[in-house]
Amino acid sequence: MTEKVALLVEDMYEDLELWYPLIRLKEAGYKPVIIGSGTKDVHLSKHGYPAKPDQVADKANADDYVAVIIPGGFAPDHMRRHPHMVDFVKKMYAKQKLVAGICHAGSVLVSANILKGKKATSFCSIKDDVINAGARWFDEEVVVDGNLITSRSPEDLPAFMKAVVEYLGAR
């Protein structure tokens, strides 16, 4: 069976930060599964591009996935309002599965309370939040600390996905 990777989605997601990882994961032989909050049948990106969730967060089982990727944009601010989405990320992290976040995804990582003592990066506007959650923040295109991978912005996607695919292949 093909290993599944969860991709979280909510309204106002950053287009490239959802679709680039989804396509790259397919190329690498993984099955990407879009997981939504359950509030809508379709979520629109910052530019109006639709994403239809394959599954709802409260029905997602962390045991079924090898990783979760959290795209940025304004979506993480919506995601963190849904306890099932935050709990899914928390469970993935606790099970030592890969948790990867880009751009504003750090907001979800803060709410999941998984940054204390970790190295991380994020979009600059949430740098203080990431630091206040206990992380050591670095202004680098990708930061890998155990089962946590973070990046700053869409420009970092090649390095971000290279690190994700390498991590998954090294397990």
76-135 per-position pLDDT tens digit = 999 999 999 999 999 999 999 999 999 999 999 999 999 999 999 999 999 999 999 999
Task: Please tell me the predicted confidence (pLDDT) of residue 2.
Answer: 87
Catalytic residue, candidates 43, 78, 82, 104: 104
Burial of 46 (0-12, 13-18, 19+ CB in 10 A): middle
pLDDT digits (tens, 9 = 90+) for 42-82: 999 999 999 999 999 999 999 999 999 999 999 999 999 99
* pLDDT of amino acid 171: 58
Say how far apart CA 135 and CA 158 lie, in whole Å.
23
Answer yes or no: pTM beyond 0.85. Answer: yes
Query: Mapping DSSP to helix (H, G, I), strand (E, B) and coil, where does residue 44 land?
Result: strand
Q: Is 29 helix (H, G, I), strand (E, B) or coil?
A: coil
The rounded mean pLDDT for the chain is: 97
Q: Which of 43, 78, 103, 124 is catalytic?
A: 103
Pairing of strands 148-151, 142-145: antiparallel
The reported pLDDT for the residue numbered 71 is 98
CATH number of the domain at 4-170, out of 3.30.70.270, 3.40.50.880, 3.30.565.10, 3.40.50.300?
A: 3.40.50.880
Query: Is 124 a known active-site residue?
Result: no
Backbone phi, then psi, for 165, in 5-degree steps? -65, -40
pLDDT of residue 1: 59
Residue among 78, 108, 112, 76 nearest 93 (CA): 112
